[in-house]
Amino acid sequence: MTHDDFAIEPVRGLPERPPEGEHILWQGKPDTWALTRSALAFWWVMGYFAALALWRFLAALDFMSVGQAIGSAVPFLILAVIVGCLLYLTAWVQARATVYTVTNKRVAMRVGAALTITLNLPYRQIGSADLDLRKDRTGTIALTTTGDVNFAYLVLWPHVRPWRFPARPALRCIPDAERVARILAEAAEARVSMPQVGRIAGTTVAAE
Per-residue pLDDT at 6 exceeds 60: no
**Concatenated DSSP letters for 81-149?**
HHHHHHHHHHHHHHHHT-EEEEESSEEEEEE-SSS-EEEEEEGGGEEEEEEEE-TTS-EEEEEEE-TT-
Average pLDDT, the chain: 87
Model confidence pLDDT, tens digit, residues 123-166:
999 989 999 999 999 999 999 988 777 888 888 999 999 888 88
Q: What percent of the chain has pLDDT over 70?
A: 88
Model confidence pLDDT, tens digit, residues 23-68:
999 999 999 999 999 999 999 999 999 999 999 999 988 888 888 8
Inter-residue contact 112 to 93 (CB < 8 Å): no
| Nearest Cα residue to 164 out of 132, 119, 125, 116 | 132
DSSP state of 208: -
Half-sphere exposure in the Cβ direction for 153 (13 Å, CA): 7
| Nearest Cα residue to 107 out of 72, 145, 134 | 145
**Predicted model pTM:** 0.83
Which H or E run contains 204? strand 203-207
Least confident of 4-8, 38-42, 78-82: 4-8
What domains appear along the chain, each with residue ranges and CATH number?
24-29+99-194 (2.30.29), 36-94 (no CATH)
Confidence bin at 90 (pLDDT 50/70/90): very high
Distance between CA 170 and CA 102 in Å, rounded? 12
